[in-house]
């Protein structure tokens, strides 16, 4: 229903601008190289070289090994560096290995850690294990922000999504996140709503404000705006900030830039006018 709200002109520009500020610009490939990450970081800092009014993205999200290269580029800017960790994307490694990985990326200087929950443990009913892992990872994070990836496509039901969300929040997650982006059926509006409602309930019970990060499958500006409308009508204006909402995306940025250009000039520009990094 909310995907049919009408967002135009100023409110659209506001939404598109916000979508960029909330974006975790992501590359998570086996083929990632220092060069690729450096290029992506530059893109995140200054998405449109021709337009200084375009804000930077919230963070660059990479694999642990590439954290130093992202940090090197983003030094002195507001752009944060997030690293996936805990045997991403499957989470099927011993806890010690996971904690070592987290300590390592935080030691390198990552601002944020995107961990995955142990779905195997969750689906076999060992909730305490899932919970303990998150608690320990949170400790290992220290000052770094912790986003907990539920990988909703593997959880199967909304009941499970809600349960996992509550579990993650109780264990100390700063953010809950839908997906690794490695499976189809990643972020959807319904599953995001389910998680937002869990966040809302936690806020009501405890006053704690937990962030939300849909990731995977959000490729078009129009989708991003729909997610923002959903956020606005579910959690309210307070949550319309990169501190509490992120969009994990690898290809969304250029479509947003194209839409901003279109709003300003009234015309669509060829994709060649937006840098590919």
Partner 1 sequence: MTELEKKGKAALVPSGWDYAPAPESREIVRIDERYGHFVGGEWLEPRETYTTIAPASEEPLAEVGQATPEEVYGAIATAREAFENGWSGLPGSERAKYLFRIARILQERSREFAVLESLNGGKPIKESRDVDLPLAAAHFFYYAGWADKLEYAFPNRRPRPVGVAGQIIPWNFPLLMLAWKIAPALAAGNTVVLKPAETTPLTALLFCDVVRQAELPAGVVNIVTGDGRAGAAIVEGDVDKIAFTGSTEVGKAIQREVAGSGKRLTLELGGKAANIVFDDCALDQAVEGIVNGIYFNQGHVCCAGSRLFVQESIHDDLVEKLKRRMKTLRVGDPLDKNTDIGAINSRAQLEKIQELVAAGEEEGAEIYQPPCKLPERGYWFAPTVFTNVAQSYRIAQEEIFGPVLSVLTFRTPAEAVEKANNTPYGLSAGIWTEKGSRILWMAERLRAGVVWANTFNRFDPASPFGGYKESGFGREGGRHGLEPYLEFEP
| Candidates 12, 80, 138, 177; catalytic one | 177
DSSP structural state of residue 8 = -
Q: How many helices (H) and strands (E) does the chain have?
A: 11, 8
Taking the least distance from each CB to partner 1, the nearer of 144 and 240 is 240
Residue 83: CB minimum distance to partner 1, A: 19
Taking the least distance from each CB to partner 1, the nearer of 132 and 197 is 197
Which residue is it, tokens 């264990």?
A: 171
Residues paired with 148 in a beta bridge: 115, 176
DSSP structural state of residue 56 = P
Closest CA to 5 of 226, 214, 191, 193: 226
Closest CA to 120 of 154, 168, 165: 154
Residue 129: CB minimum distance to partner 1, A: 26
Closest CA to 189 of 163, 155, 159, 225: 225
Catalytic: 177? Answer: yes
Taking the least distance from each CB to partner 1, the nearer of 29 and 233 is 233
Binding site for partner 1 (CB under 8 A): 1, 4-9, 11-12, 14-15, 18, 21, 78, 158, 197, 204, 229, 232-233, 237-238, 240-243
Which residue is it, tokens 């409110």?
A: 11
Residue 48: CB minimum distance to partner 1, A: 18
Determine what percent of the chain falls in helix, strand and coil, rounding each to the nearest 5.
50, 15, 35
Question: What count of other Cβ atoms lies within 10 Å of the Cβ of residue 79?
Answer: 21
> Whole-angstrom distance between the N-terminal and C-terminal Cα of the chain?
35
| Candidates 24, 43, 213, 255; catalytic one | 213
Taking the least distance from each CB to partner 1, the nearer of 36 and 262 is 262
Residue 51: CB minimum distance to partner 1, A: 18
Taking the least distance from each CB to partner 1, the nearer of 18 and 38 is 18
Catalytic: 12? Answer: no
Residue 14: CB minimum distance to partner 1, A: 6
Catalytic: 114? Answer: yes
| Candidates 24, 48, 111, 114; catalytic one | 114
Active-site residue set:
114, 177, 213
């Amino acid at each position: 229903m909310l995907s049919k709200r009408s967002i135009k002109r100023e409110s659209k520009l506001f939404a598109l601008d916000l979508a960029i500020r909330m974006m975790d610009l992501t590359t998570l490939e086996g083929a990632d190289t220092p060069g690729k990450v450096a290029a992506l970081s530059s893109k995140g800092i200054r998405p449109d070289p021709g337009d200084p009014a375009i804000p930077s993205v919230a963070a660059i999200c990479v694999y642990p090994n590439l954290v130093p290269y992202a940090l090197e580029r983003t030094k002195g800017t507001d752009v944060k560096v997030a690293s996936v960790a805990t045997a991403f994307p499957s989470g099927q490694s011993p806890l010690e290995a996971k904690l070592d990985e987290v300590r390592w990326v935080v030691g390198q200087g990552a601002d944020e850690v995107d961990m995955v929950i142990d779905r195997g443990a969750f689906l076999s009913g060992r909730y305490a294990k899932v919970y303990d892992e998150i608690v320990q990872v949170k400790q290992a994070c220290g000052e770094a922000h912790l986003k907990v990836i539920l990988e909703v496509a593997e959880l199967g039901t909304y009941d499970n999504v809600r349960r996992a969300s509550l579990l993650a929040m109780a264990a100390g997650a700063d953010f809950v996140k839908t997906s690794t982006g490695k499976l189809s059926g990643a972020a959807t509006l319904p599953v995001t709503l389910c998680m937002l409602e869990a966040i809302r309930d936690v806020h009501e019970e405890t006053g704690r404000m937990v962030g939300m990060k849909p990731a995977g499958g959000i490729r078009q500006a129009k989708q991003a705006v729909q997610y923002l409308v959903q956020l606005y009508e579910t959690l309210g204006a307070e949550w319309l900030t990169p501190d509490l909402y992120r969009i994990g995306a690898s290809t969304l940025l250029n479509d947003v830039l194209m839409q901003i250009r279109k709003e300003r000039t009234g015309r669509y520009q060829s994709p060649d006018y937006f840098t590919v990094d």
